[in-house]
Amino acid sequence: MKAYALICSLLLFTPTTVTAFQSIDNQSVKRALEEDQASRSEENFQQGKFPKFADEMNRRLLVFTALSRGELVAANDFYHAAVILQHTNLEHVGDTLRSMGTENHLLAHFLAKFYIVTYICKYIELYIGDANDKSTCRRRYSTSI
């Protein structure tokens, strides 16, 4: 069991990307994340440009729509969605951005946990999993999140 935990922890911090069994990332959620990150760039903050509430709301609704339609499949989809939801409902107070509410932070937390489980399971399935059943790990561990 210790060896299994060690392998999982080492694989988690390995800077490579798993391409086997990897689904294509949801491009609309990926673009929304890129827009989200661009709106929070240091350059924009220095110029006095801050994320607009309407843009934040549109990105959040995009994530909710993709989530409800089952369009979040790849591990990166869950990561992108988690970051977007974590950044919603911000207001500028002095020199900082502060959250106006925390209703999406819990959902972002669970999406991030699902991202980690999915990512680790891809490694397990690739290197030590059952060659006939590539979904064993996800079936076993995704219910525990």
- C-alpha to C-alpha distance for 122 and 144, rounded to whole angstroms: 17
Asked, for residue 7, whether it belongs to a domain, the answer is no
Asked, for residue 68, whether it belongs to a domain, the answer is yes
Asked, for residue 35, whether it belongs to a domain, the answer is yes
Asked, for residue 9, whether it belongs to a domain, the answer is no
- C-alpha to C-alpha distance for 139 and 12, rounded to whole angstroms: 19
pLDDT (0 to 100) of residue 21: 42
The CA R_g of the chain, rounded to the nearest whole Å, is 18
Asked, for residue 15, whether it belongs to a domain, the answer is no
Asked, for residue 135, whether it belongs to a domain, the answer is yes
pLDDT (0 to 100) of residue 8: 43
Listed ranges 63-67, 83-87, 94-98, 132-136; the one with the highest mean pLDDT: 63-67
Query: pTM higher than 0.85, yes or no?
Result: no
Q: Could you give the number of structural domains in the chain? A: 1
Asked, for residue 14, whether it belongs to a domain, the answer is no
Asked, for residue 16, whether it belongs to a domain, the answer is no
| DSSP single-letter state for residue 3 | H
Q: In 3D, which of 52, 10, 25, 46 has the Cα closest to residue 115?
A: 25
Token pair of 79 as six digits: 């990561």
Residues 6+ apart with CB under 8 A from 35: 55, 59
More confident residue, 81 or 6: 81
Per-residue pLDDT tens digits for 37-76: 998 888 988 888 888 888 888 998 999 999 899 898 888 8
Residue range of the domain that includes 34 = 21-144
